[in-house]
Copies of this chain bind each other. A is one copy, B any other.
Amino acid sequence: MEDLLKRIVSDCAPYKTLGKAASYIPELSYSNTEDLGITVATVDGKIYSAGDFDKPFTVQSIIKPVILLRALMDKGVEAVESIVGIESTGKPFDTFNYSDRALRVEHINPMINAGAIALCTLIDGRDGQEKFSRLLALARTISGNDNLKVDEAVYASEREAGSKNRALAYMLKTYKIIDGDIEDILDIYFHACSTLADCRDLAKMALVFANHGNVNGVQIMPKKYARYVNAVMSVCGMYDGSGEFALRVGIPAKSGVGGGIMATVPSKMGIGIFSPALDGKGNSVAGVEAVKRLSEALDLSIF
């Protein structure tokens, strides 16, 4: 397996030059687009890595499945589905509206910004700080890494540059999908997106979903929540490239503009990938290629 991963990292090198790092905040634009790392964590407890698997990056949208899981664990399916829909929107992740009329719950899903921001309001906690702490604690539990922490410089930049997320949040408030102080809610979200992780963290998080919530024999969440997250990632985890990803790779996955991809092969393995150069849809170019080759080599498609 390690040979395979090394070969994939080597063979996918040319793809790094086909994209470019996110640039909406300075910190992301400084990313080294030469980086490419991959980790596979299997259900029998093995970990295999190659390339820049130990370089930390901000998870960005990859935190969305964790926000969804936190909301499911804190408030249940019904509460979640009262404020987010579960259909693909057919639109980019940060699109403003989805019809000519009022914003409706069915127009947003947990994998787009508006949906993830809405779900932050479902996390238990007296205030924004406690809510984020509980979210981070969950991320630490499923990654098995108690040192996961926020990159404060990225957080500050996200907050500074967050006009679009503010617009989305005020839109959610306008249509009474959420309530409360918008800056407080966004603070949870900006912190969450700025959480640092490496390929191993992502692979181990993905493994928990692949294991349907079972961590070393302990069921840390209902099996149905793990499947819920896997299904949602499959439908809309790769932005508006989710359909193509299903066809070419066939594995539930979530990408982030930091260059990471977390992919779950149910009952088999978790995969974490990192390469900062993005395609036009916001997915890591070399990362998508790497997981595609891994899927083909190991016949991982769920279809």
**In the complex, are the beta carbons of A250 and B231 less than 8 A apart?**
yes
**In the complex, are the beta carbons of A174 and B167 less than 8 A apart?**
yes
Q: Is A147 an interface position by the 8 A CB rule?
A: no
A182: chain B residues within 8 A (beta carbon): 163, 166
CA distance A173 to B98 in the complex (A): 20
Q: Is A3 an interface position by the 8 A CB rule?
A: no
**In the complex, are the beta carbons of A266 and B170 less than 8 A apart?**
no
Q: Is A159 an interface position by the 8 A CB rule?
A: no
Report which residue of A170, A232, A236, A241 has the largest number of chain B beta carbons within 10 angstroms of its beta carbon: A170
Q: Is A91 an interface position by the 8 A CB rule?
A: yes
Chain A contacts with B in 58-104, Cβ cutoff 8 A: 85-91, 95-101, 103
Specify how many copies of this chain sit in the oligomer: 4
What's the minimum C-beta distance from A227 to chain B, rounded to whole angstroms? Answer: 5
Select from chain B the residue with minimum beta-carbon distance to A179: B163
**In the complex, are the beta carbons of B87 and A88 less than 8 A apart?**
yes
**In the complex, are the beta carbons of A242 and B250 less than 8 A apart?**
no
Chain A 233-251 near chain B by CB (<8 Å), digits 1 or 0: 0111000111110110010
Q: Is A164 an interface position by the 8 A CB rule?
A: yes
Query: Which of B89, B174, B231, B244 contacts A303 (CB under 8 A)?
Result: B231
What's the minimum C-beta distance from A177 to chain B, rounded to whole angstroms? Answer: 11
CA distance A244 to B106 in the complex (A): 11
**In the complex, are the beta carbons of B96 and A171 less than 8 A apart?**
yes
**In the complex, are the beta carbons of B244 and A86 less than 8 A apart?**
yes
CA distance A125 to B242 in the complex (A): 33
Q: Is A256 an interface position by the 8 A CB rule?
A: no
Given the interface pairs A100-B91, A266-B303, A302-B266, the reply to whether A243 lies near B174 with Cβ below 8 Å is no
Given the interface pairs A90-B87, A164-B171, A164-B174, the reply to whether A303 lies near B234 with Cβ below 8 Å is yes
A residues apposed to B, CB below 8 Å:
85-91, 95-101, 103, 109, 163-164, 166-171, 173-174, 182, 227-228, 230-232, 234-236, 240-244, 246-247, 250, 252, 266, 301-303
| Besides A232-B246, A302-B303, 12 new A-B residue pairs in contact (Cβ under 8 A), listed by A number | A86-B247, A87-B240, A88-B88, A88-B243, A90-B90, A90-B98, A96-B171, A97-B97, A163-B182, A167-B169, A167-B174, A235-B242
